[in-house]
Structure 1
């Protein structure tokens, strides 16, 4: 099972004939592409994610080949914008379902939400 971070709109410059038009696209980042920053705390035999975990790539805006309007990236990385108030993993707040995300770069082109769980063994409610 893989969690998804979804954002809309991810506005990218898209060629349309002789002009370049800003066009909104959906942006999806999968937790299976994440680079964990800690390896001591495992959930279901996989490293748990915290605020410093980065999803290496996102999908959905690849048609915007003239790059993102704000970030200047296409298929850029995704990262959590907020984490748990009371659960720290590896010294950083744990990420959890329903929290906001920054997608398509460090200067994000789109803000989204983590909308599905990647595991159901540990639930952080706050």
Structure 2
């Protein structure tokens, strides 16, 4: 079992490992931990280790065909200023998969990696944005 002080890992199945590595490192602040492209790579951000398994990886081969499509599960990344992140990512040409929504816990928006795996950007309620704090 993973010790509490070790990173938590999530496996995403991807069509193109290099494209996924480029996406996560360029746009979302991950760094490369292991690179066995084209089969596999993993990237890290804080306590999260994201396993990017291409079609030739053992992780992808072990997944039943009916479970191999992206679903409603997603990684959840907390951001300080969701409006600034949306602007930055839209400027980079990334499409969002949802509108920005607000709820009692905060505000969130979804985007997808090149394989269609979802990422939720989340700003907790009560956390002032940079723009709002400077007004």
Instruction: With the length of structure 1 as denominator, give the TM-score of the two structures.
Output: 0.28
Structure with higher helix content: 2
Report which structure shows greater RCO (CA 8 Å, sep ≥6). Answer: 1
Structure with higher strand content: 1
Instruction: With the length of structure 2 as denominator, give the TM-score of the two structures.
Output: 0.26
